Amino acid sequence: MAKAKLEAGMTFGGFVLKQLLHTGGMAQLWQVTPEHSSEVLLMKVPVLAEGEDPATIVGFEMEQMIMPRLKGPHVPRFIANGDFAVQPFIVMEKIDGESLLPKLTSLPLPVQEVVEIGRKVAVALDALHHQRVVHLDIKPSNIMMRSTGEAVLVDFGLSRHLDLPDLVAEEFRLPYGTAPYMAPEQILGQRHDFRSDFFALGALLYFFATGERPFGDPPRLKGLKRRLWWDPPPPRMLNRDIPLWLQEVILRCLEVNASRRYPNAQQLLFDLNNPSEVKLTKRAHKERPDGFFVRLKRKSEPFESLIDHPKDASEGLAQAPIIAVAIDLATMSPELSEQVRQTVMRIVERSKEVRVACLNVLRLKRLALDSTLDEEGNNKHISRIVQLKDWARPLEVPQAQVSFHVLEATDPAEAILEYARENTVDHIVMGARDNSTMRKLLGSVSARVASEAPCTVTVVRDRKDQDASGG
């Protein structure tokens, strides 16, 4: 199980902790070396303290799934993963450069430096998108510069790989991202559009060129949605040194409707490399924000009508049935557990493209405060993920087609139903509670799910219970 406190000199997973480099809200970064080598590497370890946001765990799982699939100079070279059952971590190369974060102390930057940053990030995004990944958290601290000049994109905890389960979207309803850089469609829950990264890059270039964030740093969803109808001051209004062509590029990246942004990173890069070829529109000549009545008209329109739903970015998404398996780890007998597993295996055999989502509900108390740790000091959320993975291992479902979710709720049946509704589940499989007095008094979770679910439900009974009841 994950260690409560890490210290220099510790060894696990074949790596020696040398120096703590950074502690953030969701993870620590350690300089490490392999046990039998002097190579300097970087280890990322999630922060798993009492009361920690479950998004920390989900984001780290997402990053563990994505990073081994990434290649090239624009992402850190992946070395190893650590299992949640022992100690979760990601080991990667240590980039011999620094992030763009220190640039914030000297804004606005010279125009040519802003353009050069834009070029390098566009090249990195092009490489990432060709690997079918939308980053969804482009910001200064997540862009590093190698000593050889290439931009390196880091931190894939909020990213979307079009060939992998999207754990963030499946488990959380609120949008996740960094407020100053989030694209409108991302705020509305759309996480599969490559052009969301161009919006974030546009916000970053605006910030670096003017010293002002185009949309501020709103702390609430209401403030985030304001950017769907309230346009920022044109960059040249804040800095007259910005050329017309660069204002055209920045404002095109910041278009609310993704169909009006650059269709791909190659075209964005072309404009940044060829200023004289940039076609100037009214965006380039804009001198002030839109007037009150123009903004009011936009605000009166449904937000969703402003968002383009692209075919190009979603064609690769797997169109496959989703099977949710609700597993009660606390009370399910070994016999019933195996019967549920056999039922799922029969369903999987009928569809090679099936997605299996293994669910467990961590039941919360209605009145008292809940601890995130069990009696032995282990994180409950992680313990149950480990148990779910152990349960699913005999299914032999490819990693890209199975995911694990611990739902925290006071009402288990409602949690399962909400998951099924929000994720368009096609089939729910679950075990029935045994014939106990508790079942008669409290009712059956499976009975409620079966009666209210928007999809097919298979309730598996323990054969011993069936024999005892004569059924």
Same-domain status, 354 and 289: no
> Do 337 and 254 share a structural domain?
no
Looking at 38, 63, 93, the residue that finishes a domain is 93
CA pair distance 355, 321, nearest whole angstrom: 6
95 or 352, higher pLDDT: 95
pLDDT of 356: 87
Residue 305: what pLDDT?
A: 63
Please say if the pLDDT value at position 308 is more than 70: no
Start-to-end CA span in the chain (Å)? 42
Asked if residue 280 and residue 243 are part of one domain, the reply reads yes
Q: What distance in Å separates the CA atoms of residue 103 and residue 80, rounded to the nearest whole number?
A: 31
Q: Which domain holds residue 419?
A: 322-469
Contact status, residue 77 vs residue 93, Cβ threshold 8 Å? yes
From residue 205, how far is each of 115, 191, 215 by CA, in Å? 8, 22, 13
**102 and 198 both lie in a single domain:** yes
> Does residue 176 lie in a domain region?
yes
The mean of the pLDDT values for the chain is 87
6 located within any domain: no
Q: In this model, does residue 316 exceed pLDDT 50? A: no
- For residue 178, give the CATH number of its domain: 1.10.510.10
- Tokens representing 243? 């050329």
Does one domain contain both 218 and 299? yes
- Which of 93, 127, 156 lies at the terminal end of a domain, its last residue? 93
Q: Give percent above pLDDT 90 in the chain.
A: 54
pLDDT tens, position by position, 450-462: 899 999 999 998 7
407-428 average pLDDT score = 86
State the Cα angle at 92 between 358 and 404, rounded to 5°: 5
Supply the pLDDT for residue 434: 62
400 DSSP β-pair partners: none
Q: What's residue 471's pLDDT?
A: 42
Whether 13 and 82 have beta carbons less than 8 Å apart is answered as: yes
Residue 3 lies in a domain: no
Give the pLDDT mean for 263-281. Answer: 92
Q: Rounded to an integer, what distance in angstroms lies between the CA atom of residue 265 and that of residue 460?
A: 50
Decide if 15 contacts 33 (C-beta within 8 A): yes
pLDDT tens for 361-417 read 888 766 555 666 766 777 888 888 888 999 999 987 887 788 888 888 888 899 999
Is residue 65 situated within a structural domain? yes
**In a shared domain, residues 83 and 128:** no
66: CATH: 3.30.200.20
Assigned token pair, 379: 């994180």
- pTM: predicted TM-score of the whole model, two decimal places: 0.81
Residue 418 lies in a domain: yes
Residue 361 and residue 445 in one domain: yes
116 occurs within a structural domain:
yes
Q: How far apart are CA 462 and CA 439, in angstroms?
A: 14
Q: Quote the number of domains for the chain.
A: 3
Q: In the listed set 51, 66, 93, which residue is the last one of a domain according to the structure? A: 93
Statement to judge: residues 210 and 284 lie in one domain: yes
- Is 312 a member of any domain? no
**Residue 309 pLDDT more than 60?**
no
Domain match, 419 and 392 both: yes
Q: Which residue has the higher pLDDT, 286 or 362?
A: 286
Please check whether residues 108 and 244 belong to one and the same domain. Answer: yes
Q: What pLDDT, on the 0 to 100 scale, is given for residue 53? A: 67
**Which tops the pLDDT comparison, 250 or 345?**
250
- What is the side-by-side strand order in the sheet with 97-99? 97-99, 143-146, 151-153
Give the CATH number for residue 355: 3.40.50.620
Residue, of 367 and 207, whose pLDDT is higher: 207
Residue 288 reports pLDDT greater than 90: yes
Q: Are residues 50 and 195 in the same domain?
A: no
In this prediction, residue 109 carries a pLDDT of 98
Q: Higher-confidence residue: 102 or 174?
A: 102
Q: Establish if 370 belongs to a structural domain.
A: yes
| Alpha-carbon span 122 to 127, nearest angstrom | 9
Confidence class for position 171, pLDDT limits 50, 70, 90: confident
| More reliable by pLDDT, 166 or 105 | 105
Are 51 and 163 in a shared domain? Answer: no
Model confidence band, residue 318 (pLDDT cutoffs 50, 70, 90):
very low
